[in-house]
Structure 1
Amino acid sequence: MATTITQFQGLTFSILVEEFHDKGTDGRLNCYLASIYTQDKATAVRHLVRRSRLPGAASAMKREIEREGIKAFHRLRGEKRHDRVDG
């Protein structure tokens, strides 16, 4: 069993990408779970944002967050972002 945690630091919160996988003696994958959490810097409370059981999902999530930053995070949470329109 192996667990890998990647942390992205933000101003008010951090994003944690946690990956767990277990392989049998024959090298085949028994279990895989990737999870994204937000962690408040003041209280260290973690909130689950997304979870996937598809192998390699954590790598895809990490690449997306590294490439697009907060935009990718808002998309993963399903938030609707509206640009400000001055009128």
Structure 2
Amino acid sequence: MRQKITKIKGLTVNVEIVEMSQADKNGGILCYLAAIYIQVQGSAEKRLVRKSRLPGAAAALRKEIQRDGIRAFERLKL
């Protein structure tokens, strides 16, 4: 099992994307899960915003946040 954590720091909130995947011996994906958390600056509490089982969903969200900034959060329904 492989786990990758990506943190995107912002002015008011931080975004943490946790991706977990498992592959068979030939490299085929058996299982994939991405969880996106929002953490307000200065708080220890993280809130789950979205989960996805589609490979590549976390990378698409990461690009969207970097491109649109705070406007990407409007679509996440904070």
Normalised by the shorter chain, which TM-score bucket? 0.7 to 0.9
Q: Which amino acid aligns with 1:66?
A: Q
Equivalent-residue separation in structure 2 for 1:69 and 1:28 (angstroms): 33
Q: Structure 2-normalised TM-score?
A: 0.87
Q: Structure 1-normalised TM-score?
A: 0.79
Structure 1 residue 42 displacement after superposition: 2.2
**Count of aligned residue pairs for this structure pair:** 78
Equivalent-residue separation in structure 1 for 2:68 and 2:36 (angstroms): 16
Q: Which amino acid aligns with 2:38?
A: T
Structure with more of its chain in strand, by fraction: 2
**Are 1:68 and 2:68 matched, yes or no?**
yes
Asked which structure has the greater CA Rg, the reply is: 1
Deviation string 1:16-41 (CA, Å, 9 cap, x unpaired) is: 11111110112111110111101233
What are the ranges of 5 or more consecutive residues in structure 2 without an aligned counterpart? none
Equivalent-residue separation in structure 2 for 1:21 and 1:60 (angstroms): 17
What are the ranges of 5 or more consecutive residues in structure 1 without an aligned counterpart? 80-87
Q: How does 1:1-87 map to 2 (within 5 A)?
A: 1-77=1-77
Equivalent-residue separation in structure 1 for 2:20 and 2:14 (angstroms): 19
Structure 1 residue 13 displacement after superposition: 2.4
SS of equivalent residue, structure 1 residue 16: strand
Equivalent-residue separation in structure 2 for 1:42 and 1:60 (angstroms): 27
